[in-house]
Amino acid sequence: MTERDPAWMPQTAAESVVEFHDVSLRYEAYGVRGDTPTGDEDDYILKNLNFTLPAGSFHFLVGASGAGKTSLMRMIYLAQKPSLGDLSLFGARVRPNDRAQTAALRRRIGIVFQEFRLLEHMNVFDNAALPLFVQGHSVKKNADDVTELLAWVGLKHRLSAMPHVLSGGEKQRLAIARAVVTRPTLILADEPTGNIDHNMGLRIMRLFVELNRLGATVLIATHDEGLVRASGMPVLELKDGSITRRDKLPARRNSGDRGGGGGGGGDKSGGARE
Ligand SMILES: Nc1ncnc2c1ncn2[C@@H]1O[C@H](COP(=O)(O)OP(=O)(O)O)[C@@H](O)[C@H]1O
Ligand SMILES: [Mg+2]
């Protein structure tokens, strides 16, 4: 490596976009029982996770509330350091204390936060364009692209609306537009259908599938198993601190969970995408 090609430079040809190597996570406060700090295995909410997200893959991250989905996403977004183990992003080993590396890697990640985090004093267009501005791109030059993106998520008629007048679904779609406006290689979405009805959920899922089709690697945390089943997409399941990958969630027999029939979850769809 030369000086102009530092070790943190994202490798474009990386076959895995995310790699976890024996990653465990324990929150400090969580490890304290009474006044005795403990180091028990039980204190780890995530234990020895090993998995990869191949470039161009689409996965749901499922698990009960409190299973650690948000924590895992925060580690990928480099907002939370693993207690043990390490991870690689875009083929580069993450160095948690290297701020330049963190900034460079984050630029390639688009994240939809569970609680949206829209800026209330900015209108829809400006919220969506903000990451371009933050990353030093001209908003003016990219205005047509931003407008097109907002039209794509169904907000063309809302460009100058302020966030507080938007419905839950509109806020959700704005948060998605903002997450993808810089064309990130990796898209993380934390419960992106948590605040909206089933049909809007299906529509939002189609947006993510389309982004994946355009080349992005996608990871979506959700506890909505109906949506996951309807999609027929592969799943990473968190349970008791461990992670298991499945090609898709097995179909449920009871008729109350038909899931809207949108996603073409044919029997062979699971592993056959790449
Ligand atoms: N900052 C924190 N400090 C201490 N404990 C936390 C923190 N964030 C989450 N936890 C705990 O870690 C566990 C996993 O939480 P979380 O990752 O939010 O799960 P999920 O997103 O699957 O609901 C929960 O028991 C939660 O209370
Ligand atoms: Mg969560």
pTM of the model: 0.84
CA 15 from chain centre, in angstroms, equals: 18
191 CA: nearest ligand 1 atom: 21
From the CA of 63, give the closest atom in ligand 1. Answer: 22
* Rg, Å, the chain Cα set: 19
Residue 145, by phi and psi: left (phi above 0), alpha (psi -120 to 50) or beta? alpha
The predicted structure's pLDDT at residue 187: 97
Ligand 2 center from residue 229 Cα (angstroms): 20
Mean pLDDT of 72-83: 96
Q: Between vectors from CA 262 to CA 254 and to CA 229, what angle results, nearest 5°?
A: 45
Integer angstrom CA distances of residue 148 from 81, 98, 128, 135, 214? 36, 36, 11, 20, 16
Contact 147, 156 (CB under 8 A): yes
Q: Which tokens in the block code for residue 103?
A: 């900034």
The whole-number average pLDDT for the span 57-79 is 96
Ligand found nearest the CA of 236: 1
Q: Which atom of ligand 1 is nearest to the CA of 64?
A: 22
φ, ψ of residue 67 in degrees (nearest 5): -70, -20
Q: Is the CB of 133 under 6 A from ligand 1?
A: no
Output 272 or 18, whichever has higher pLDDT. 18
> Could you tell me the residue ranges of all domains in the chain?
54-80+98-248
Q: How far is the CA of 118 from the centre of ligand 2 (A)?
A: 18
The CATH number of 54-80+98-248 is 3.40.50.300
- Residues lining ligand 2 (ion), CB within 5 A? 69-70
Mind listing the pLDDT tens digit for each residue in 14-54? 589 999 999 999 997 544 455 555 556 668 999 999 999 99
Say yes or no: CB of residue 155 within 6 Å of ligand 1.
Answer: no
Least Cα distance to 218 among 51, 37, 47, 53 occurs for 53
> Roughly how many angstroms between the first and final C-alpha of the chain, as a whole number?
31
**Which one-letter DSSP state was computed for residue 110?**
E
The answer to whether the CB of 189 falls within 8 A of the CB of 111 is yes
Expressed in angstroms and rounded, the spacing between residue 227 Cα and the centre of ligand 1 is 23
Sheet holding 46-54, edge to edge: 46-54, 16-25, 84-89, 92-93
77-99: average pLDDT = 96
What is the reported pLDDT for 260? 42
Q: Which residue, by CA, sits nearest to atom 25 of ligand 1? A: 66
